[in-house]
Amino acid sequence: MSSAPRYTPYRPRRLRTTARMRRLVAETRLHPADLVLPLFVKEGLDEPHPISSMPGVVQHTLDTLPDAVRAAAVAGIGGVMLFGIPTERDATGSQADAEDGILNRAITIARDAARSPDLRSDERPGPVVMADTCLDEFTDHGHCGVLTPPGPDGLTRVDNDATLERYTAMALTQADAGAEVVAPSGMMDGQVAAIRDALDDAGHHDVSILAYSAKYASAFYGPFREAVDSTLSGDRRTYQMDAANAREGLREADLDLAEGADMVMVKPAGSSLDVLAAVAERSDVPVAAYQVSGEYAMIEAAAAQGWIDRRGAVLESVLGIKRAGADIILTYWALDIAEWIS
């Protein structure tokens, strides 16, 4: 028998003795309603297309999208975030605000599926339908906005204010199609104010804005490029944030709050937990975090090799995001997590 001090008043291990005790005193809990499932919908597909760098994730067809939304509803997931992939792209992303464009058709289909009365209940009212409000999937150059003509140096740049006009047009058609939340993700200055004014002027007072406030230029977005068939050459460092800067992320969040954002987001989640915690402490609206494609791919790849426990690593990674202050977590594991914690 080991000897112990005669008087040891502090024994935190008492609260870790059993699974029952650990559950009772847990400070942070996950719930399916905290989660948002990103969904990709591609024009012209006859069947879902697997994304090789994101095992288990597919590009959906318009016909398979309702089943994905219903699965989210049955699991009690809080929302779905839709990304559209068109067959035709041009310099201004004209398909982004086309009424018959792939994303706007997907929004209507998803909203109808989410409203299905046979799936809804007081406990599980169905997922909120959210739409990515950005041009990168729709432009032939892959940037998130409209490009300027070449300057004296021969370079083109993303035109902030011209892009805002495209974002407002896109947000209006998304709202008309049935989006409950529009999510400007392009990191253009003034995007929240421009979209809020346009929505209100059109009578869409109840459509919320989830602002990608602190969105960093990140190597962890790599698999997403495959998911949306990105045509980007180069990078987006002139408008997405430098990963070295934390205070700048807080300033961006403050600006979006001042412009009327209903929710603010930090992205990517896993490498920005310090910024997430600081934004959560100062925000008076819900805070979201996006667990991005690279975070997903890393855990899936390591688990496939048997190097880590997949379920344990997934839950720990998402719990860390929640513990840092996220009210809402966008994750490609939303269905798995909902099943595990239910």
What is the pLDDT at residue 4?
62
Mean pLDDT by 10 residues, the chain (342 residues): 70 93 95 98 97 98 98 96 97 97 98 85 86 97 93 91 98 98 97 98 98 97 93 90 97 98 98 98 97 98 98 98 98 98 88
Residue from 267, 283, 324, 333 carrying the catalytic annotation: 267
| Letter string b/e over residues 135-158, b meaning 16 or more CB atoms within 10 A of that residue's CB | bbbbbebbbbbbbeeeeeeeeeeb
Sign of CA dihedral 188, 232, 65, 169: positive
Residue from 215, 259, 285, 325 carrying the catalytic annotation: 215
Active site residue 322: no
Nearest CA-CA partner of 183 in 274, 272, 286: 286
What is the pLDDT at residue 2?
60
What is the pLDDT at residue 8?
77
CA angle at 260 for the pair 255 and 291, rounded to the nearest 5°: 70
What is the pLDDT at residue 123?
72
CA distances from 32 to 54, 182, 262, 309, 311 (A): 21, 21, 21, 21, 16
Active site residue 267: yes
DSSP at 109: H
Alpha-carbon span 82 to 133, nearest angstrom: 9
> Mind listing the domains of the chain with CATH numbers?
28-341 (3.20.20.70)
